């Protein structure tokens, strides 16, 4: 899977999206499978965060996922 297939907000911290950050609950596993890897544009949390943090999307589109994930 290419890095662009992973949600740019995945696993960053609780201020962004708590899915994939620290403890991963059974609910989180379901969300990761359904949205975070490959279909994040169908996730309502993705669109909320994209509106609040557009700079994060710019980092992800430039291919600098290391920066986006930190």
DSSP string, 34-49: IIIBT-GGG-HHHHHH
Quote the pTM value: 0.63
CA separation for the pair 58, 25 (Å, rounded): 29
* Sequence ranges of the domains in the chain: 3-69
The percent of the chain in helix, strand and coil, each rounded to the nearest 5, is 55, 5, 40
Q: Let me know: does 56 contact 47? Beta carbons within 8 Å.
A: no
Q: pLDDT 10s per residue in the chain (70 long)?
A: 445 688 888 877 777 777 767 778 888 888 888 888 888 888 888 899 899 888 877 666 655 443 343 3
31 sits in which H/E element: helix 26-31
pLDDT at 69: 39
């Amino acid at each position: 899977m290419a890095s662009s297939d992973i949600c740019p907000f995945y696993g960053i911290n609780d201020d962004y999206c708590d899915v994939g950050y620290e403890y991963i609950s059974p609910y989180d596993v379901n969300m990761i499978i359904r949205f975070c890897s490959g279909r994040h544009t169908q996730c309502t949390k993705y669109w909320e965060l994209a509106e609040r943090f557009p700079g994060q999307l710019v980092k992800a589109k430039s291919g600098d996922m290391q920066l986006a994930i930190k």
